[in-house]
Structure 1
Amino acid sequence: MSQTGQWVDTLKRCLKTRGITYRDVAHTLQLSEASVKRLFSEQSFSLKRLEQICRLMDLSISDLARMNDRRYSDHLTVLSPEQEAALADDPILLSYFYLLLRGWSVARITGRFDLSEPRQVRLLARLDRLGLIELQPGNRVRRLTARRIQWRRGGPVRRLYEREVKRAFLQDDFAGPASHFSFDSAELSEASARQIRRRLARLVREFDETAELDVDLAPADKRGFGLMVALRPWAYWNIVLDENAH
């Protein structure tokens, strides 16, 4: 795919994740919907129109450029079973690796957490031996994986998340001003359930893309957030009545 094609593909993905249609773009550009479709098909955007579309998504052109670069230069990595097992067996090592993936420097980790220098050197050396990083002079690190890891379904890290992370995440009362919790149940047709699943997948993609945009922000301008999305066939009130019926 040409570089222009990559840009247009990234632009279309961003519009889709935000639920913005060709009709919305046409209204912004004051063109017909057919003309907008032709712009995308012919990949012929002026900078002015590209800027207008980015503004519609609450992005800048430089934001779009960063997203495009990361999308085509930083794909998912699937670790070997041995690498996953080593990380899952040592939650400290896994957490340290996660911070490196998120762009934390060794100096920033040192300033934030009470980890002695010898302990950090051991962690870095272990990650180096596992082939996950290249440890360079001065404790500088070069990642040997993509920023995003595809953990194996049913693998040791996924099991660790199921056992520890999900439990710890849901222990909070979600009462803080930066928190949000909603739960509801309803009877849905399969068609409606599919529609909800598509919308949830779009939300997750938008969360990931927004995080990519914020990677380059100063540490003081951001903090960690967790997003848990779940949907499954479940009818709690039916279960209660079934278990207590006489």
Structure 2
Amino acid sequence: MPSTQTLVQVIKAELKSAGLSYAQLARQLGLSESSVKRMFASGGEMPLSRVDEICRVLRTDFAELAGRVAEQRPELRELTLAQERAVVADPRLLLVAICCLSQWSFEQIVEHYSISPAEATRCLAQLDRLGVLELRPQNRYKLLVAKTLRWRPQGPVMNFFRDRVMHDFFAGGFDGEGELITLVHGQLSPAAARELVERLRQLAEDFARQHLQQQKLSEAEKRQYTLVMGMRSWLFEGFRQLQKPRRLTRTASSRS
């Protein structure tokens, strides 16, 4: 991510930590809320003079923000085999890891699940040692992995979900509000398949962005959703057994 974009992300994080909305920041800066939103939007412009003004509102300085930009590490998009084995070996650790990927606070975790504060703290500390997150004072944390973390296709976590979770997930009717299940089969060129896979990745990232943007909503306004996507070159075994043997295309030399 370019340094300018990273700076904007750091400022957004600081605003969230300070509990300042765009509307409140706009009033402090003497701007309209729409102007502030454009400034923080992708491709928006934020001159250094404006950064200085935002620093004043946040009661910090540019040097401190610049230091935090320098601390930014590229997000990991895949864990090592050893990391996955450690995460899946302890069901409570796996639960806390999934909650952290969803940006849940420490307080939300202990409120929603039968996990004591001591257990939750232990899990966060272990995830810190594993390099999944950076644990900060008062059980705050910074994720070191992408929200759209890719679990290894044949790794310990995906095998756990295949063995223990998939049946439970697909047993639902998928007929509730905001629910969908569909199955599409067809023949594509490898290039077209790669293009579709990339679009599916973008959809997963959009799901993650929507989740983060709606963190400020109350619990009564939200419901738990899980998005599962898969695409592979495959034909059901029962159908494959009914296929006729493919005829070999005769070449010009064999016909002569």
Instruction: Give yes or no for contact 2:101–2:143 (8 Å, CA) kept in 1.
Output: no
CA–CA distance in 1 between the matches of 2:165 and 2:178?
Answer: 19
Instruction: Give yes or no for contact 2:133–2:143 (8 Å, CA) kept in 1.
Output: yes
CA–CA distance in 2 between the matches of 1:142 and 1:190?
Answer: 41
Partner residue in 1 for 2:154: 154
Kindly state the Cα deviation for residue 62 of structure 1 after the two structures are TM-superposed. Answer: 6.9
Partner residue in 1 for 2:139: 140
The amino acid of 2:120's aligned partner reads Q
Instruction: Give yes or no for contact 2:134–2:144 (8 Å, CA) kept in 1.
Output: no
CA deviation vs aligned residue, 1:216-246 (integer Å, no higher than 9, x gap): 4444433332112222333447436349xxx
Kindly state the Cα deviation for residue 212 of structure 1 after the two structures are TM-superposed. Answer: 3.5
Segments of 5+ residues of structure 1 without an aligned counterpart are 8-50, 52-59, 66-71
Against the structure 1 CA distance between its residues 241 and 133, is the aligned structure 2 distance closer, same or farther, given a 3 Å change threshold? closer
Against the structure 1 CA distance between its residues 215 and 75, is the aligned structure 2 distance closer, same or farther, given a 3 Å change threshold? farther
Instruction: Give yes or no for contact 2:103–2:212 (8 Å, CA) kept in 1.
Output: no
For the residue of structure 1 that corresponds to 2:41, the secondary structure is helix
Instruction: Give yes or no for contact 1:74–1:146 (8 Å, CA) kept in 2.
Output: no
Q: How does 1:8-27 map to 2 (within 5 A)?
A: none
TM (normalized to structure 1)? Answer: 0.57
Partner residue in 2 for 1:61: 38
CA–CA distance in 1 between the matches of 2:191 and 2:152?
Answer: 29
The amino acid of 2:208's aligned partner reads D
Kindly state the Cα deviation for residue 179 of structure 1 after the two structures are TM-superposed. Answer: 1.1
Partner residue in 2 for 1:174: 174
Instruction: Give yes or no for contact 2:125–2:135 (8 Å, CA) kept in 1.
Output: yes
Q: How does 1:48-127 map to 2 (within 5 A)?
A: 61=38, 64=41, 75-77=74-76, 78-127=78-127
Kindly state the Cα deviation for residue 180 of structure 1 after the two structures are TM-superposed. Answer: 0.7
> Higher Cα Rg: structure 1 or 2?
2
The amino acid of 1:146's aligned partner reads V
Segments of 5+ residues of structure 2 without an aligned counterpart are 9-33, 43-69, 245-256
CA–CA distance in 2 between the matches of 1:4 and 1:174?
Answer: 38
Against the structure 1 CA distance between its residues 220 and 195, is the aligned structure 2 distance closer, same or farther, given a 3 Å change threshold? same
Partner residue in 1 for 2:242: 241
CA–CA distance in 2 between the matches of 1:85 and 1:197?
Answer: 27
Against the structure 1 CA distance between its residues 171 and 75, is the aligned structure 2 distance closer, same or farther, given a 3 Å change threshold? farther
The amino acid of 2:167's aligned partner reads R
CA deviation vs aligned residue, 1:3-60 (integer Å, no higher than 9, x gap): 27999xxxxxxxxxxxxxxxxxxxxxxxxxxxxxxxxxxxxxxxxxxx7xxxxxxxx6
Against the structure 1 CA distance between its residues 242 and 81, is the aligned structure 2 distance closer, same or farther, given a 3 Å change threshold? closer
For the residue of structure 2 that corresponds to 1:185, the secondary structure is coil
CA deviation vs aligned residue, 1:139-185 (integer Å, no higher than 9, x gap): 52323623534434533223323333333322222121231111132
Q: Which moved more, 1:153-162 or 1:104-113?
A: 153-162
Kindly state the Cα deviation for residue 86 of structure 1 after the two structures are TM-superposed. Answer: 1.2
The amino acid of 2:180's aligned partner reads H
Q: Which moved more, 1:102-111 or 1:72-81?
A: 72-81
Relative CO higher for 1 or 2, CA cutoff 8 Å, sep ≥ 6?
Answer: 1
Q: Report how many aligned residue pairs link the two structures.
A: 188
Instruction: Give yes or no for contact 1:84–1:156 (8 Å, CA) kept in 2.
Output: yes
Against the structure 1 CA distance between its residues 228 and 74, is the aligned structure 2 distance closer, same or farther, given a 3 Å change threshold? farther
CA–CA distance in 2 between the matches of 1:166 and 1:75?
Answer: 31
For the residue of structure 2 that corresponds to 1:96, the secondary structure is helix
The amino acid of 1:234's aligned partner reads W
CA–CA distance in 2 between the matches of 1:107 and 1:116?
Answer: 11
Against the structure 1 CA distance between its residues 75 and 179, is the aligned structure 2 distance closer, same or farther, given a 3 Å change threshold? farther
